[in-house]
């Protein structure tokens, strides 16, 4: 069974097609990056796949569940770390983790167990009692990803997880993402070419709502005839104009 399979997935606004006839397949356990310039349709795609937005037409099946007819089942299998940091600022780190356990209906015992497990995995133990709103951007992102993993999702959506972070914080988050590779399917959107190249098994490039090309970083470089991934991205996007 594929982790994600989209079939002619389309999102149409009045005079804008944000996602246009997207046909995409993501295998179980792989890290798939979606790249594209602003307005390419990456976030809209993620919003449709995570049942935040209803498609105008087409469908997507996640682990066998349709985003149109099985939204409850889809929501049980996914975790989402949105583009902006999505934490409750007046709650402590521990309370944020427990909030996510609670909204997934975990028992008190499982709440404690999962919160402790994620705190250990993401090295949050030293800041458990700090209010989330007082943390640095890097730690907030780390907490945000930990919160997305509370429900033990089979598919994790990371929407520009390192946006605005300094080099060290970004490197730390890459380590976190690497540690998840192979265990769950990860869909990553990013503007950082290096990030996509280093972390991804496969990369899809979008432009104006359309999926231009899918391949490994090496395949995309070969296709564009360059050695640098960033040059390959520019060449492939400009070549589509």
Q: Name the residue nearer to other proteins (CB basis): 73 or 214.
A: 73
Q: Is 128 in the site for other proteins (CB under 8 A)?
A: no
Q: Is 101 in the site for other proteins (CB under 8 A)?
A: yes
Q: 28-67 mask for other proteins (x: CB under 8 A)?
A: ----------------------xxx---------------
Q: Residue 7: helix, strand or coil by DSSP?
A: strand
Q: Is 85 in the site for other proteins (CB under 8 A)?
A: yes
- Rg (the chain; Cα; Å): 18
Q: Is 225 in the site for other proteins (CB under 8 A)?
A: no
H helices present in the chain, as ranges:
42-49, 71-77, 93-103, 108-121, 137-149, 167-180, 193-199, 217-224, 229-239
Q: What are phi and psi of 168, to 5 degrees?
A: -70, -45
Q: Is 154 in the site for other proteins (CB under 8 A)?
A: no
Q: Is 168 in the site for other proteins (CB under 8 A)?
A: no
Q: Is 160 in the site for other proteins (CB under 8 A)?
A: no
Q: Name the residue nearer to other proteins (CB basis): 30 or 95.
A: 95
Token pair listed for 179: 């540690």
As a whole number of angstroms, the distance between CA 221 and CA 230 comes to: 9
**Dihedral over Cα of 165, 169, 171, 172: its sign:** negative
How many amino acids of this chain bind other proteins (CB under 8 A)?
A: 33
Only one of the segments 9-17, 18-26, 147-155, 217-225 lies at the binding site for other proteins (rule: CB under 8 A); that segment is: 147-155
């Amino acid at each position: 069974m594929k982790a994600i399979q989209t079939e002619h997935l389309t999102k149409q606004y009045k005079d804008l097609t944000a996602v246009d006839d997207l046909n995409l397949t993501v295998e179980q356990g792989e890290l798939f990056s979606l790249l594209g310039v602003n307005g390419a349709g990456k976030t809209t795609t993620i919003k449709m796949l995570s049942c935040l937005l209803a498609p105008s037409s087409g469908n997507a099946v996640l682990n066998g569940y349709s985003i149109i007819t099985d939204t409850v089942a889809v929501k049980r299998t996914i975790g989402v770390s949105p583009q902006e940091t999505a934490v409750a600022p007046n709650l402590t780190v521990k309370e944020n983790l427990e909030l996510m356990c609670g909204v997934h209906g975990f028992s008190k015992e499982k709440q404690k167990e999962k919160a402790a497990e994620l705190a250990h995995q993401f090295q949050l133990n030293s800041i458990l009692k700090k209010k989330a709103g007082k943390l640095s951007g890097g730690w907030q992102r780390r907490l945000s990803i930990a919160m997305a993993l509370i429900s033990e999702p089979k598919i994790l959506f990371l929407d520009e997880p390192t946006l605005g972070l300094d080099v060290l914080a970004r490197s730390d988050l890459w380590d976190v993402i690497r540690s998840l590779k192979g265990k769950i399917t990860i869909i990553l959107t990013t503007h950082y070419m290096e990030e996509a190249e280093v972390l991804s098994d496969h990369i899809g490039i979008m432009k104006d709502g359309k999926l231009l090309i899918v391949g490994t970083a090496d395949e995309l470089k070969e296709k564009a005839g360059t050695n640098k991934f960033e040059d390959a991205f520019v060449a492939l996007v400009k070549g589509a104009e």
